[in-house]
Every structure is written in structure tokens, then in C-alpha cells.
Amino acid sequence: EAQVTQNPRYLITVTGKKLTVTCSQNMNHEYMSWYRQDPGLGLRQIYYSMNVEVTDKGDVPEGYKVSRKEKRNFPLILESPSPNQTSLYFCASSFQSRGDGNQPQHFGDGTRLSIL
Amino acid sequence: TQLLEQSPQFLSIQEGENLTVYCNSSSVFSSLQWYRQEPGEGPVLLVTVVTGGEVKKLKRLTFQFGDARKDSSLHITAAQPGDTGLYLCAGAGSNYQLIWGAGTKLIIKP
């Protein structure tokens, strides 16, 4: 089954304790992206990757890191989480390329992160 | 900066009524996508409109792309409780990244 898998689904942690949210897709998509979703603000892009070893900042990259060492995996790293990073996070992938923004994005089921 | 304004933010109506959700921008998009998101899940694509003036139908849902490709609408006829969810529009911007609307939370009461 074609899917984007995020782990964990839920995490409660404390300020400053490094954490990683994993994302894996099995559709051979080149493009992957991380979003955060907050009430009234919609989806805001954190980082995206057009291909292996190629990552770019989205609209709200501060406080986050990503890596793309393999095509299927795109982990999101919070080196020193703070309460304002409490949010619902989504990973997405697609066949999108620089010449084609019309491709649909396939989303994981989300990770609800609470930073105390 | 390209922005996509979505309205209304929230809509609660009775089963059987019709409704329209709007996405508006001052920018031109090469395409526009509509997604539906249910609680505990990620957004799922409903439709992509590409051509100015294009109309697509998905059962009781009608999607339209404006002639100038700056706006789009989603019309639901005879809404059902199963239509309840968060509806999101996303336009493909100048750098082919998606610009997202803030979403419309739709509740259909039986």
C-alpha cells in the first residue's frame, strides 16, 4: 500500500530535549516536505527536499533541521524544542519537480507534538 | 509574497443545504488543488484544476478555477454529514511550491 509513515504519532516532551520525528514514503517520490498545522493558520511549510541531499527552507524553518540521505526518508529534527513548537506536524511527498507544481501531495497521518 | 485567502473559516449547516467555499488571491497560480482533511488524518487530494475557467465535478462537489487563475470555489450540493471535515485549497506558486489557504472547517448536522 502506497503511504507516508510518520513516527511517533503523539509525543509529549520537555523544553530543550532533542527529538526526531521520522518520515518514510514507499512511492519513490523525489519531493518531500514538512508542515506544521496550527488553528487558524493552515499548513505552513517548514522545510522541503527536491531530491536526495537537496533541502530548502520553507516559510517557518527556525528551530528545525532536516536531512535527506535516502530518497524514502526525511526526518525532522528539533535540536532544542521550545513550547512555541507545540503543534501538529505533517510530512508529505509527491512527484513534484521544479517544472511541475501540479502533482498531488500525499500526507502522513500527522504527529501531535507537545513541548512543556 | 503570494497569499491565498480562504473563506469562510468555519461553516455549520444542516444536512441537505448547499454551500460554497472560496479561495482568492491577487496572484496567478499555474494550478490549484483542493484537499479534505478528517480528524486524526492528513489532507487527502480531492481535485486539481489547471485551466482558467475549468469546472470539475466529484459527485455532489463542484470545483471551479477562475478565468484568470487567481481564485477558485468549491460548491457542495445537498450536503451530507459525511462531507464534514476541513477543506484546504493550495495554489502552485511561481516557484512551484504550494501556497496554502488557512482552511474551512465544515460541519454538516444531521
Q: What is the pLDDT of residues A54-81, one digit of tens each?
A: 999 999 999 999 999 999 999 999 999 9
A89 CB within 8 Å of a chain B CB: no
Q: Shortest CB distance from B88 goes to which of A40, A42, A97? A: A42
Strands B19-24 and A42-51, sheet pairing = unpaired
pLDDT tens figures, A1-18: 889 999 999 999 999 999
Any CB–CB contact under 8 A between A98 and chain B?
Answer: yes
B49 to each of A106, B33, B54, B61, how far by Cα in Å?
17, 6, 6, 13
Identify whether the C-beta of residue B37 lies closer than 8 Å to the C-beta of residue B85.
yes
Helix (H) or strand (E) holding B50: none
Judge whether residue A110 has pLDDT over 70.
yes
Positions in chain B short of pLDDT 50: none
| Beta carbons of B92 and A97 less than 8 Å apart | no
Q: Identify each DSSP E strand in chain A by its residue range.
A: 4-7, 10-13, 19-25, 31-38, 42-51, 54-57, 65-66, 76-78, 87-94, 106-107, 111-115
Find residue A67's DSSP bridge partners.
none
Q: How confident is the model at residue A98 (pLDDT cuts 50, 70, 90)?
A: low
- Looking at every residue in chain B, the average pLDDT score rounds to 94
